[in-house]
């Protein structure tokens, strides 16, 4: 393993000349023009082929509830266009909390 010092840096700016100081100076954000023009692409704008979306549904008991889900019938959901599968905690091996 190579032994080296911790990196450090220092920048000094001459006092008195505001044109050389970075503090308070306008600095344009690199992506500002793309975002302002609507040309910027975000992850929600991308639609790769064969992309599959999933939705996690978690039912948590805060200690005060008395209800218990005993069965979920996904038959109707599985008949909907675009639905590929339904996976419940009992379908996943191991401990599911």
Give CA 10 to chain center in angstroms.
Answer: 34
pLDDT of residue 90: 83
Residues of the chain below pLDDT 70:
1-2, 4, 11, 13-25, 60-64, 97
pTM: 0.42
pLDDT of residue 43: 83
pLDDT of residue 37: 92
Ramachandran category for residue 57: left, alpha or beta (phi over 0 → left; psi -120 to 50 → alpha)? beta
pLDDT of residue 1: 59
pLDDT of residue 18: 65
Nearest to 41 by CA among 51, 50, 31, 49: 31
The domain spans of the chain are 49-97
Sign of CA dihedral 86, 91, 94, 95: positive
């Amino acid at each position: 393993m190579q032994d080296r010092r911790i990196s450090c840096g220092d920048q000094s700016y001459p006092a008195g000349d505001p044109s050389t100081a970075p503090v308070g100076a306008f600095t344009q954000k690199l992506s500002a023009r793309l975002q302002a023009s609507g040309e910027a692409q975000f992850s929600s704008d991308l639609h790769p082929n064969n992309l599959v979306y999933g939705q996690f549904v978690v039912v948590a008991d805060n200690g005060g509830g008395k209800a218990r889900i005993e069965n979920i019938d996904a038959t109707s959901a599985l008949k909907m266009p675009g639905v590929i599968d339904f996976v419940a905690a009992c379908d996943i091996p191991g401990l599911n909390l």
